[in-house]
Chains A and B, each alone.
Chain A
Amino acid sequence: MAEEIKVIVFTLGTEEYGVEVDSVKTIERLVPITRVPKTFDFVKGVINLRGVVVPVIDLRGRFGLPEAAHTEHTRIIIVNVADMEVGFIVDTANDVIDLNTDLIESPPEVVGGVKAKYLRGVAKISNERLLIMLNLPEVLNKSEIIQLEEIGE
């Protein structure tokens, strides 16, 4: 069942994460974000993506990591999952690699503070590099958000 997939690599802090190229629409530099009131803290607001209004969430906030100040490397990865377009704010996004799906192992219970169900697995791409593959539908699953909020408090 080995299969080569292309993966976009981005970082949150020191960890490297991956999402499949197929579910990524574009990667954008940071643009002005319009705050949306009365929603979750990690929802930073909405941006104008070439005429379409797209919500953006801070992936650090989503995973309960401390939020970091935005730098010139900060990127917004626009993903499209189950007809939902959402932007992820990440620290950097600068690599695309080929990954053999056999290398993805099921995730350990806790990785870098991110709960296992948000992860598709962990891929060891070299001795030093571990790539955490995200389970996008679960990341965007809103019914989980409420619980997450409670845990975060």
Chain B
Amino acid sequence: MEMNQYLSMFIDESNDHLQSLNDNMMQLESNPEDISIVQVIFRSAHTLKGMSATMGFNDLASLTHQMENVLDLVRNNELKMNEFIFDTLFKSLDALENMVQDITQGGEGHADVTSIVEALQSIVRGDYGQAAAASVEPAAASNQNTTNGFRLDQYQYSVLEQSIQTGLTVFYLDVVIREDCVLKGVRAYMVFDALEQNGEVVKTNPSVQDIEQEKFDRSFSIYYISKIDQASLHQLISSISEIESVHILPVDNETLIHISQEDDEVNEATTQMQQAVQETAVTVDIPMTQPAAPASTPTPARTPSAGGNSSAQAASRTIRVDIDRLDVLMNLFSELLIDRVRLEQLASDLKSQDLTETVEHMARVSGDLQNIVLKLRMVPIDTVFNRFPRMIRDLAKSLDKKVDFVITGADTELDRTVIEEIGDPLVHLLRNAVDHGLESIADRVSAGKSDTGMLQLRAFHSGNHVFIEIEDDGQGINREKVLKIAIKNGVISSDEAKSMTDEQVYQLLFAAGFSTADKVSDISGRGVGLDVVKSKILSLGGNVSVDSNWGKGSKFSVQLPLTLSIISAMLVRVGDEKYALPLSSIVETVIIERKQIRHVHGTKMIDYRQSVIPIVSLAEIFDCPTADEEKESTEVVVIRKGDRLAAFMVDDFIGQSEIVLKSLGKYLTNIHGISGATILGDGQVALIIDPNALVK
């Protein structure tokens, strides 16, 4: 079906809306009186409904519709939010997420949501177990009435109602065309054309299609949203020739209900699909017309929630780009760089002033371009963080703990590839913090702490790295308990235990098959987890450390490289070949005399700052055919892996440079000691050495 081309857009946008629904629900939960948040939620739900109906995902649309009914009552102050409503709405969001997930995987988005729908309906009716406040009853009842009155017209009804509330004017128009008119369809089209320049046609009777095909007698009626007044609207339509009369009626909330009921029978002619299409058109239009409306509109949903405001703006300022295209752009750009180097060389050979100047300018421009291209791949870490508040809320609820979750530095940018991988490890660490770190309410109170636990998630830049810290003010790590279990599980011996520093003890948590939780829970404590977290982070070129204060809390700190695609590297020459060594693992470069190399038990070692470290020849490791062994002194690169040092003998240092990481392709995998390749300025390929693999 031709809808397929919109499917990916639909999925992306649905996910955005679900995320914003989740975020705003969280906000609302902490601030249930703030009706402006409800407005934002309502708008998101509404757009989602429109989109899913247009795409034909009716289950999705009907569930959102039920949610909307509830939210509608809330925002009209006819219903107070309470825990049951929050839970039901969150459950609905989960169900919606599952449906969208299903659609993403090629399904139809069907799901059995009857229990949730019933719960939502019972909220609307006000009979969900709790004695509903008396004020809610009549409102709920009247709403019930209207829903019965025009079941098919519910979409338009809510659109119109919303427009009235946002300060736009809604009109009901009866247009009669003269009897002698030959081309009724054309006249009708002119009417619509004039109307659509000044507002939005919501609903017509008969349907737009029928009118276009002249399947109407002489008159038709229109529901119309606009910001122009009645007189100028009248003027506008009467100015079209062959219109006999136009009857305009401004619509407010009461008349809206009244008129709609009269129209009900005719409405059935219009199919649900058309409504949905029209309705999406309207929802798209409303945010655009809103700024034009006077600033004193009674529902300025945006001002109080600064977060919602900025995200709405951000949405209009970004586009989605396939990551593959960025990769292609990057490749093409590195091609350009190579040509630039070549041009610079030619210019200096030819000694032409004009050419040199042009090439210099080109060099500057391409430098700027390089920065932009590299930045394109950077994504704010918020894309990972934004799902955490909801997760922590659910966790805390299921564990019966109170958690104050604070995120800072969500705008910190990281390479897209790192972002994609870091989500799961962070989930693990956060779950651990809530489950094991924070104590139960009773324990906290008896320890003299506030009953609400503090959980902080921080991200910040430092040098070429991004740090993510997860800090809780819970019970901290019990050194003795960790050691006892480590000894029991045979990770360390009791002799070793005595001499271990705190940091070393905490690192034991990351050992495979280790868990200090007394009992296994659903959330964490199966002993698989922290070791997986650590290996994942290491594979990303990062590191994780723990700091803890018994009784006061603990802090997990994750260090990540800014990007995986560009690294600072030291270029070295071995024989005729050039290799790149990641700068992050280099400690220093030195020149030593060959006679300083000692042979210890068959291994070559050198003295290095009061310690003896192994030294290996890269030429030997890589079987370099042409290495100059004869020289008396040799250049050495000292590298670090964890707390171990080692030295690599090379023939020459070429210099430091930013290199673009490339894979060797699928055909060459797992080459020992090589982590990838890069293309140098002269177009040659240089291999990138993986020091971690060479140091045992």
Contact = CB atoms under 8 A, between A and B. Distances in A.
Q: Do A and B come from one complex?
A: yes
Interface of A: 32, 34-39, 43, 45-48, 50-55, 57, 83-86, 140, 142
A51 B332 contact: yes
A110 to B, nearest CB: 26
Interface residues of B, number: 29
Nearest to B578: A34
A35 B687 CA distance: 9
Contacts of B668: 36, 39, 43, 46, 55
Contacts of B679: 48, 51, 53
A85 B665 contact: yes
Contacts of A48: 338, 679, 683-685
Nearest to B333: A51
Pairs of residues from A and B, 5 with the lowest C-beta to C-beta distance, nearest first: A51-B331, A37-B622, A34-B685, A53-B677, A53-B662
B685 A47 contact: yes
Interface in B304-338: 330-332, 334-335, 338
Contact of A38 (B331, B334, B667, B673): B673
* A34, A39, A55 pick with most chain B CB within 10 angstroms: A34
B666 A35 contact: no
Nearest to A140: B667
Nearest to A43: B668
Contacts of A45: 685
Given A37-B622, A37-B674, A48-B679, A53 B664 contact: yes
Interface of B: 330-332, 334-335, 338, 577, 621-624, 662-668, 671-674, 677, 679, 683-687
12 contacts: A36-B671, A37-B621, A37-B622, A37-B623, A37-B624, A37-B687, A46-B687, A55-B665, A57-B667, A84-B665, A85-B665, A86-B665
A109 to B, nearest CB: 28
Contacts of B621: 37
B663 A53 contact: yes
Contacts of B624: 37
Contacts, number: 78
B662 A52 contact: yes
A84 B330 CA distance: 20
A2 to B, nearest CB: 34
Contacts of A140: 667
Given A51-B335, A84-B665, A86-B665, 8 more contacts: A34-B685, A37-B621, A37-B622, A38-B622, A51-B330, A53-B662, A53-B663, A53-B665
B341 to A, nearest CB: 13
A57 B665 CA distance: 13
Contacts of A39: 668, 671
B331 A34 contact: no
Contacts of A37: 621-624, 671, 673-674, 687
Nearest to B577: A35
Contacts of B674: 36-38
Contact of A55 (B330, B332, B335, B664): B664
Nearest to B328: A51
Nearest to A47: B685
Contacts of B677: 34, 46, 53
A71 to B, nearest CB: 22
Given A46-B664, A53-B663, A34 B687 contact: yes
B301 to A, nearest CB: 48
A114 B663 CA distance: 31
B694 to A, nearest CB: 11
A53 B668 CA distance: 11
B335 to A, nearest CB: 5
A28 to B, nearest CB: 13
A86 B667 contact: yes
Contacts of A83: 666
B673 A34 contact: no
Contacts of B335: 50-51
A88 to B, nearest CB: 11
Nearest to A39: B671
Contacts of A85: 665-667
